Structure 1
Amino acid sequence: MPKGPSSLLRPRDGDALRGELRRTASHAQIPVVFAGEVHHGRLHLSEFVGTRTTGLAGVVVPPRAGLGGRAMAEGRTFTVADYGRAESITHHFDRPVLGEGLRSILAVPVLVGGAARAVLYGAVRECTPLGERAVDAFMQAANRLAGEIAVRDEVDRRLAMFTRAPQDQDPAASAEIREVHAELRTLAQDTVDTTLQQRLRALSDRLAAALSGEVDGRPDVTLSPRETDVLSYVALGCNNTEIARRLSVGAETVKSYLRSAMSKLDVHSRHEAVAVARRSGLLP
């Protein structure tokens, strides 16, 4: 997992891996599933469902070693119908694999930016090729997990940019901060991890409050997450069509959220809404 200024914000990627693994075990109807994250070019097996022994726990897989090492190095899915006799892989890990009684095995890499960040395995204890349903379920799981990790990486990148940016009243810095705020809102919408979603929105709210200056004497106003999302892009100068594209909603939906926000803020134009939201600490 990347380290950086968002280390307190970012949940453990292993938790997302574990959740995806359990879901896939149910959908694929595979008796044994396991997985691990890739750190410093090596795969560390850490998550297991359906195993009978502890032989695979803590195994570290170098690139190209065994089935998972090959999937990690080449960035594609591999299967073997009889692990012990397979000629397409090395046999560094025969002892723990065969000790678990595994024969037919599938290994699917989780690719982010072309690099493997984890590997998912499915296995049965018979020399029977895994069916198309199982392969599809694992590939879909890998794609979902890759998308989640990519969102988390982008959050880290955005926060690192903010940390490095001069936090003064320089117009360029202010524009960058507003862009970061809007992107945090969009990332919150895109992630399927509800905990991360809540933290992203809380972080964007803190960013807005910290940089908005003095709050005026108006009563407290609470905007919905979507109303804030829309106003954050209005603040960047986006029109309704651009906002709809960025938030993956219809233009009429954007108008509806904007009207609702303007009503809550007691204003009559989109620009006035942005100004009041900033003075109220709702936008940077």
Structure 2
Amino acid sequence: MSTSSAHAGFDARGALRAALRAVQTESGLPVAFGAFVEGSTAVLSEFRGTRTNNLHSLEVRAGSGLGGRVIAENRPAAVNDYRTADTITHEYDTWVLSEGLASIAAAPVMVRDRLAGLIYVATRDRNALGDRSKSAILSAGRRLSTELTVQDEVRRRMRDAEVVATVAPEHVRDVASLEEIRALHAELRAVAQLISDAGLSQRIADLSKRLAHVGTGTAAASGTVVRLSAREVDVLAQIALGCTNQEAATRLSIKPETAKAYLRGAMRKLDAHTRFEAVVRARALRLIP
């Protein structure tokens, strides 16, 4: 996954910066920095607490230095005195020591069982890094891994949905194709609940509307205007797949009673007396595919 391709349109660097702020706060250590990994090389790109630019854009290769050890072994590592550590190689001493760093820990960031990045935390004192520091970097690494995995999944779903959304409604002829569109629409709205980027959320909302139009070849009822909230559409899209309130709630990461309330609101606006009737009317109005 590349920050220039796989993360296009996503704030991967912002997620990394947030992780560095968190690990710096939670560890109490003055320096934190990170990198994305391409193949077997990491390029240091985000920094907090550094005094120079010496580490900026430094390429760390697998097996070389502390970060290279983490890349090669896919597990956290630490040294209490970088200058004298005999558990790592010393190709990067000039850059690390010119920044005045001594005790350093590094942890991998995984996305779908693949190394995607590194997080470092450091101090200029030659002291053993305590449990607080090690716990902080592991926690930050896991959170960043989750964020990047979600971004990767949203990107995949949006790519598939954008392809489907180019299909003209009249060309959707078989039931299997229509059900695939409906499933993709519901999944996209469900995974959108896991992201916080407002711009990306709007892109997903716009794309889901395009899918709703692909899903039906009939025009919206003349003169009929029904405005459902985004959450009401989210729940109705799950119900349209045959989900129970509990299942819809699980997919959308909300409480069952909340899902039930949104469904009631949608039914009231659609003047529907049953779940099935609500789905039929929402489809006729092109609110869902």
Relative to 1, partners in 2 of residues 1:115 and 1:226: Cα closer, same or farther, differing over 3 Å?
Answer: same
Q: What residue in structure 1 maps to residue 241 of structure 2?
A: 236
Q: What residue in structure 2 maps to residue 181 of structure 1?
A: 185
* 1:95-134 pair list within 5 angstroms: 95-134=94-133
| Equivalent residue letter for 1:226 | R
- In the alignment, the residues of structure 1 paired with residue 5 and residue 44 of structure 2 have an alpha-carbon distance, to the nearest angstrom, of 27
Relative to 1, partners in 2 of residues 1:20 and 1:193: Cα closer, same or farther, differing over 3 Å?
Answer: farther
Q: What residue in structure 2 maps to residue 191 of structure 1?
A: 195
- In the alignment, the residues of structure 2 paired with residue 5 and residue 143 of structure 1 have an alpha-carbon distance, to the nearest angstrom, of 22
Relative to 1, partners in 2 of residues 1:92 and 1:157: Cα closer, same or farther, differing over 3 Å?
Answer: same
Q: Helix, strand or coil for the counterpart of 2:109?
A: strand
- Give the conservation status (yes or no) of the 8 Å contact 1:81–1:103: yes
Q: Deviations over 1:25-72 (max 9, x none)?
A: 233222111111112331010111111111111111111211111112
Relative to 1, partners in 2 of residues 1:209 and 1:23: Cα closer, same or farther, differing over 3 Å?
Answer: farther
Q: Helix, strand or coil for the counterpart of 1:266?
A: coil
* 1:200-215 pair list within 5 angstroms: 200-213=204-217, 214-215=219-220
- In the alignment, the residues of structure 1 paired with residue 21 and residue 52 of structure 2 have an alpha-carbon distance, to the nearest angstrom, of 18
* 1:6-21 pair list within 5 angstroms: 10-21=9-20
Structure 1 unaligned runs (5+)? Answer: none
- Give the conservation status (yes or no) of the 8 Å contact 1:205–1:283: yes
- In the alignment, the residues of structure 1 paired with residue 6 and residue 40 of structure 2 have an alpha-carbon distance, to the nearest angstrom, of 22
| 1:28 and 2:33 correspond | no
- Give the conservation status (yes or no) of the 8 Å contact 1:5–1:160: no
- In the alignment, the residues of structure 2 paired with residue 17 and residue 55 of structure 1 have an alpha-carbon distance, to the nearest angstrom, of 20
Q: Deviations over 1:149-176 (max 9, x none)?
A: 1111112222344456694232212111
- In the alignment, the residues of structure 1 paired with residue 127 and residue 54 of structure 2 have an alpha-carbon distance, to the nearest angstrom, of 23
Q: What residue in structure 2 maps to residue 258 of structure 1?
A: 263
- Give the conservation status (yes or no) of the 8 Å contact 2:162–2:207: no
Relative to 1, partners in 2 of residues 1:265 and 1:5: Cα closer, same or farther, differing over 3 Å?
Answer: farther
Q: Helix, strand or coil for the counterpart of 1:85?
A: coil
Q: Deviations over 1:215-239 (max 9, x none)?
A: 2224432222221111111111222
Relative to 1, partners in 2 of residues 1:152 and 1:138: Cα closer, same or farther, differing over 3 Å?
Answer: same
Q: Helix, strand or coil for the counterpart of 2:144?
A: helix
How far residue 177 of structure 1 moved from its aligned partner, in angstroms, is 1.4
| 1:217 and 2:222 correspond | yes
Worse-superposed segment, 245-254 or 261-270: 245-254
Q: Deviations over 1:115-135 (max 9, x none)?
A: 111101110001112222222
Q: Helix, strand or coil for the counterpart of 1:97?
A: helix
- In the alignment, the residues of structure 2 paired with residue 122 and residue 43 of structure 1 have an alpha-carbon distance, to the nearest angstrom, of 16
> RMSD value over aligned CA atoms?
2.4
Relative to 1, partners in 2 of residues 1:97 and 1:68: Cα closer, same or farther, differing over 3 Å?
Answer: same
| Equivalent residue letter for 1:101 | G
Normalising by structure 1, we get a TM-score of 0.90
Identity of paired residues, percent?
44
- In the alignment, the residues of structure 1 paired with residue 132 and residue 236 of structure 2 have an alpha-carbon distance, to the nearest angstrom, of 44
| Equivalent residue letter for 2:71 | M
- The total of aligned residue pairs comes to 283
- Give the conservation status (yes or no) of the 8 Å contact 1:5–1:156: no
| Equivalent residue letter for 1:59 | L
- In the alignment, the residues of structure 1 paired with residue 6 and residue 112 of structure 2 have an alpha-carbon distance, to the nearest angstrom, of 20
Relative to 1, partners in 2 of residues 1:52 and 1:251: Cα closer, same or farther, differing over 3 Å?
Answer: closer
Q: Deviations over 1:179-204 (max 9, x none)?
A: 11111111111224444334333332
- In the alignment, the residues of structure 1 paired with residue 252 and residue 151 of structure 2 have an alpha-carbon distance, to the nearest angstrom, of 18
Structure 2 unaligned runs (5+)? Answer: none
